[in-house]
Amino acid sequence: MIRKMIALFGIVILALIYKAIMPPPPKKCGSNNGPPITAPRVKLSDGRYLAYKENGVPRDQAKHKFVFIHGFDCVRHDVALLTTISPEVMQSLGIYIVSIDRPGYGESDPHPKRTPKTLALDIEELADQLELGSKFYVIGFSMGGQAIWGLLKYIPHRLAGAILLTPVTNYWWGSFPANLTKQAYYEQLVQDQWTLRISHYLPWLTYWWNTQKWFPSSSVATFSEDILFEQDRVLMPIFDEYQSKYRDLVRQQGEYESIHRDIMIGFGTWEFDPMELENPFPNREGSVHIWQGDEDGHVPVLLQRHIAKKLPWIHYHEMKGGGHMFPWAEGMGDKVMKTFLLGEPFVM
């Protein structure tokens, strides 16, 4: 009897552990228990749907067609730069921007097997279905900026140019010197060190770590202000007010296939090292630009500088006093677009 009681107790404990670490299934948009479908979507070759939103001048009148990839914990409505590009610049340069919900966010179907490569191919399919042409531009912000490396790796022949706005770096990319990643890694809050450590080495515990109440988890996912420098403390309320209209859409299909999947991919083991990429525009028929602030509490400027050194074909713009949310600074969209499209000097 005692052995049976011990065995039963062990089974109960294992069941509780399993329940704690296993995420609930996502609530797919359009399913019986899922949110409604309100956005236009394209059906991809594997049957998934990708939601999008069109911004700027009409597609058939555009001179420059962009696909925008949003950041962590955002959706298609959160187009960095869009609110700071003036109507005059938008019209004169003929800028069209289609923004997507990355898989698992907003109204795009989750993709449990998502990788940097699958997202690149999703965007290529979107571009083809919307008839953006043989080549198009891409913009990515934060985690969406990191995703641009996948496009530069897997579909460089489809790109006319790329803008990476404070792209997230992965501490485990092989070309980073160990002393540099160690310095940058330990400048993070302790709770973020543990969040990334678990997502990299024990990804199956990511859901548990980010939902348990015993220890503080990701400061970004919990909207902590502890990682904000001066500019971000000014700009974050502007972003929050803008996003408040869409806040409920971001994680509506579940946190695991949106923000948790982002962390596991962004800081997991990649199948390529971005710092080993070759110049996609050897004949200068296009260009790749990175914008990075030197007071960014989310993305270490030390690592971004190293990337710029390793890839001399990158046009690197570092902003003194710039934070993570710099795209929402007044006039920033005009400056970035004029530098990228017209070659004008970038002045902070």
pLDDT score of 15 more than 50:
no
258 or 225, greater pLDDT: 258
Residue type, 257: E
State the pLDDT confidence band at 2, using cuts at 50, 70 and 90.
Answer: low
Among positive and negative, which fits the CA dihedral 293, 262, 203, 120?
negative
18 or 92, greater pLDDT: 92
Question: Which range has highest mean pLDDT (15-19, 97-101, 282-286)?
Answer: 97-101
* Across 118-138, average pLDDT: 97
Q: For residue 29, what is the DSSP state?
A: T
**Which pLDDT value is given to residue 70?**
96
Domain boundaries, the chain: 39-188+224-340
pLDDT score of 13 more than 80:
no
* Across 27-50, average pLDDT: 95
**Which pLDDT value is given to residue 216?**
81
Q: For residue 34, what is the DSSP state?
A: S
pLDDT score of 261 more than 70:
yes
**Which pLDDT value is given to residue 5?**
52
SS (H, E, C) 284-314: CCCCEEEEEECCCCCCCHHHHHHHHHHCCCE
pLDDT score of 9 more than 60:
no
pLDDT score of 8 more than 80:
no
Helix axes of 116-129 and 143-154: crossing angle, nearest 10 degrees: 80
CA distance 194 to 340: 37
Least confident window among 76-90, 213-227, 262-276: 213-227
* Across 177-194, average pLDDT: 94
* Across 154-174, average pLDDT: 97
**Residue 225 three-state SS:** coil
User: Which residue, among 69, 75, 124, has the nearest Cα to 258 in the 3D structure?
Assistant: 75
Among positive and negative, which fits the CA dihedral 262, 266, 272, 278?
positive
Among positive and negative, which fits the CA dihedral 270, 272, 277, 280?
negative
* Across 195-199, average pLDDT: 94
**Residue 237 three-state SS:** helix
CA distance 182 to 167: 19
pLDDT tens-place string over residues 233-253: 999 998 888 888 889 999 999
**What share of the chain has pLDDT > 70, as a percent?**
94
**Residue 231 three-state SS:** helix
| Fold classified for 39-188+224-340 | Rossmann fold (3.40.50)
* Across 168-194, average pLDDT: 95
**Which pLDDT value is given to residue 221?**
81
Output phi, psi for 115, to 5 deg. -140, 170
